[in-house]
Structure 1
Amino acid sequence: ELIEKPRRPISNLINGGIYIFKKELFESIRVPSSISRNFLPNILKSNKCIAVYKYSGIWADIGVPDDYLKLNFKLLIEKYPKGYIGPSAKVSESSTLIPPYYIGQDNVIKEDAYLSSHTILGDNVKIGRGCYISESILMNNVEVKDYTFVTGSIIADKSRIGKWNHVLEGSILGEEVITGDGILINKGTIILPNKEVNEPIYDRDKIIL
């Protein structure tokens, strides 16, 4: 039995994840229908066979960026509490790494960089001299130039962050974003993909379209 958002919990299990249906089931739908309220309950009533997979690992709704960060940090703590450095990564001896952290393949961490705890770097990420990175996710092929500060943010693939930037908490930079030197990106800023930013963003929670 499936009950959508019961007032009182009737089980310690939830229905969530990915559904796989045969095409003919969709053809039987005459009007727009809710999967959880109508579609699945009707299939159960018709005695059609439904297979389920009971998952006992970590599950979270990552519909908002803050949840995405928290879930990644939780996985990081569980899997790499002492930190992980990919075998092909090049990390300067004068840099500082505070666990837990994840440094992917082919990364370059230059002199005097400081990676605080809960830093996740994808593959082929370049961190310049004297940079400070904390509680952030930098995806594949990101470059952060010298003396830039990034905290509590998500930077997507192929972005290029200039020298002496400040990227503050809650900011999200889409794919292939480019920033000039000396740029402030204030808290909660969202920059859409393929944008170039050459002026400081002083206002909080701004969206750059």
Structure 2
Amino acid sequence: MKKQKWIALLLAGGKGTRLNLLTKTLVKPAVPFGGKYRIIDFALSNCRNSGIETVGILTQYRPYELHAHLGRCNDGNYYNRYGGLTILPPYQRSDSGVEWYEGTAHAVFQNIEFIEQYNPENVLVVSGDQIYKMDYSIMLKQHLETNADCTIAVVEVPWADANRFGLMRMDPKTYRITSFEEKPKNPTSNLASMGIYIFKWPILREYLLREELKEFSNRDFGKDIIPSMLCDGLQLYAYYFNNYWKDVGTIHSYWEANLDLLTSEKNIFLQDPEWRIHTAHYDEPPLYFDTQAKMYQSIVSDGCEIYGTIEHSVLFSGVKVGKGARIKNSFILPQTIIGENVWIENAVVGSQTQIMDGVIIVSKNADAHLMVVGHNEMIDPELQEFPLTNKVVSVVS
């Protein structure tokens, strides 16, 4: 097979437990975002727009809906003309059964055979659960110019959130990384890894094989591979990114990222409109907006029927909102039916859920907590004991 300059491996198998009820039955990269997209569409579109011909997508947790979405994305598009999209789930490598991915590095290790058939000079490893636009080819250019063994995309994060990330220090003149800590309890830096790496393939292969021989290992890039490379004196460089980026790892960050779409300054789709975010096409009828309906600063997708009031909210495809209903500061995922005289505020409501007439799902302080309703649920007034005791409605601090 033709030798390729680089290929991409997209990690899309995480459970995303901090997204609460939204990932109880759905892997995080498949969670809907922005009215018509899935979270994974951003990393996948970045690969496509950056000219990467071959992308392997590593899946594991509840992959069914994600696989269906990827199948629609790959139907007759750009990737079929090149190396294509390849879904890489865990598989049985011996008589001992299926070997599940035990960490980010272990997931890549299990797919060494896939990588080597393309004989790449470099391998891009990206996470499939972030909202951003990035030209990876510019990062590759820096990687080659510095002759880096590994280049890590970095971004400054608020100090309050720093302990959620791998943090590093670098030489401010050369950008060479001098130290790295994975999710420290007491951060001394707010320069965070975006979970986007470019490795020289021969070097990455050596470290993956070496990690598998260790008796105790997390088999993880941030906890094992990166610290080992630094300890051995390899050349690791930071690629500084200062545009919009959101790690939607918590329900609050997911809610905020959707909310950002409602102001033109933060709306990622209005930034660099030539860098399109591609997604699968779903046939939906046009939006229906009734004469008594009202809408203020919101995004409402195709297939919706609106009879109530929508304020500062995002409604995904196929949502129906009954007469007298009021939706404010909330995100309603696809195919959900909201009855008459319902009041929803500061909430995230899962897909294919039914909210019966008269239900109230309200948080008065979104900074303190949000209301979350899972997928495929029915919320009936007779069952209302929330916010704390109802099994399908939860408060997220």
Q: Sequence identity of aligned pairs in percent? A: 17
Match of 1:102 in 2: 299
Q: 2:291 corresponds to which residue?
A: 93
State yes or no: 1:14 paired with 2:192. yes
Matched, 1:27 2:246: no
Deviation string 1:130-156 (CA, Å, 9 cap, x unpaired) is: 110001110011110111111111111
- CA spacing shift, 1:76–1:24, aligned 2, 3 Å: farther
Q: What is the letter of the counterpart of residue 97 of structure 1?
A: M
Matching residue of 1:114: 309
Find the counterpart in structure 2 of residue 195 from structure 1.
none
Distance 1:141 1:51, change over 3 A: farther
The match for 1:176 among 361, 376, 379 is: 376
Matches within 5 A, 1:139-150: 139-150=333-344
Give CA deviations for 1:154-203 in whole Å, capped at 9, x if unaligned. 111100111111112222111100122xx2xxxxxxxxxxxxxx42215x
- How far apart in 1 are the matches of 2:390 and 2:236? 43
Partner-residue secondary structure (3-state), 2:358:
coil
Pair 1:55-2:253 in alignment: no
Query: What CA distance in whole angstroms lies between the structure 2 residues aligned with 1:23 and 1:126?
Result: 51
- Which residue number in structure 2 is paired with residue 69 of structure 1? 255
Task: Tell me: CA distance 1:17–1:36, structure 2 relative to 1, closer, same or farther (3 Å).
Answer: closer
Gap runs ≥5 in structure 1: 81-85, 184-197
CA distance in 1, matches of 2:320, 2:295: 15
Amino acid at match of 2:385: I
Q: TM-score by structure 1 length? A: 0.72
Q: Is the 1:3–1:37 contact (alpha carbons within 8 Å) kept by the matching residues of 2?
A: no
Say which SS state the counterpart of residue 171 (structure 1) adopts: strand
Change (3 A) 1:40 1:7: same
Residue in structure 2 matched with residue 199 of structure 1 by the alignment: 383
Please give the alpha-carbon distance, in whole angstroms, between the structure 1 residues aligned to 2:239 and 2:378. Answer: 43
For 2:337, the aligned partner's letter is E
Deviations 1:84-131 (A, max 9, x none): xx99211113211111x1101111102xx11122x1101111111111
User: Which amino acid in the other structure matches residue 115 of structure 1?
Assistant: I
Distance in 2 (CA, whole Å) between partners of 1:124 and 1:52 is 43
Q: Which runs of 5+ in 2 are unaligned?
A: 1-176, 269-283, 364-369, 393-397
Match for 1:88: what amino acid?
Answer: P
Instruction: Give me the TM-score of the superposition, normalised by structure 2.
Output: 0.40
Aligned CA distance change for structure 1 residues 207 and 63 (closer, same or farther; 3 Å): farther
Q: What SS does the corresponding residue of 2:245 show, helix, strand or coil?
A: coil
Say if 2:384 and 2:390, in contact at 8 Å, map to a contact too.
Answer: no
* Counterpart secondary structure, 1:39: helix
Contact between 1:104 and 1:121, CA under 8 Å: does it hold in 2?
yes
| Alignment partners' CA distance in 2, 1:60 and 1:154 | 17
The aligned runs of 1:126-141 (5 Å cut-off) are 126-141=320-335
- Tell me, yes or no, if the aligned pair for 1:127 and 1:144 is still in contact at 8 Å: yes
Distance in 1, Cα, partners of 2:221 & 2:390: 33
SS in 2 for 1:105: coil
Which structure has the highest strand share of the two? Answer: 2
Q: Aligned pairs, how many?
A: 181
> In 2 relative to 1, CA 20–201 (structure 1 residues): closer, same or farther, beyond 3 Å?
farther
Q: Distance in 2 between matches of 1:19 and 1:129?
A: 50
- Is the CA contact (8 Å cut-off) linking 2:317 and 2:334 kept in structure 1? yes
Bigger RCO (CA 8 Å, 6+ sep): 2
Once the two structures are superposed, residues 28-55 of structure 1 have per-residue CA deviations (whole angstroms, 9 ceiling, x without a partner) of 2112246335420322455667687643
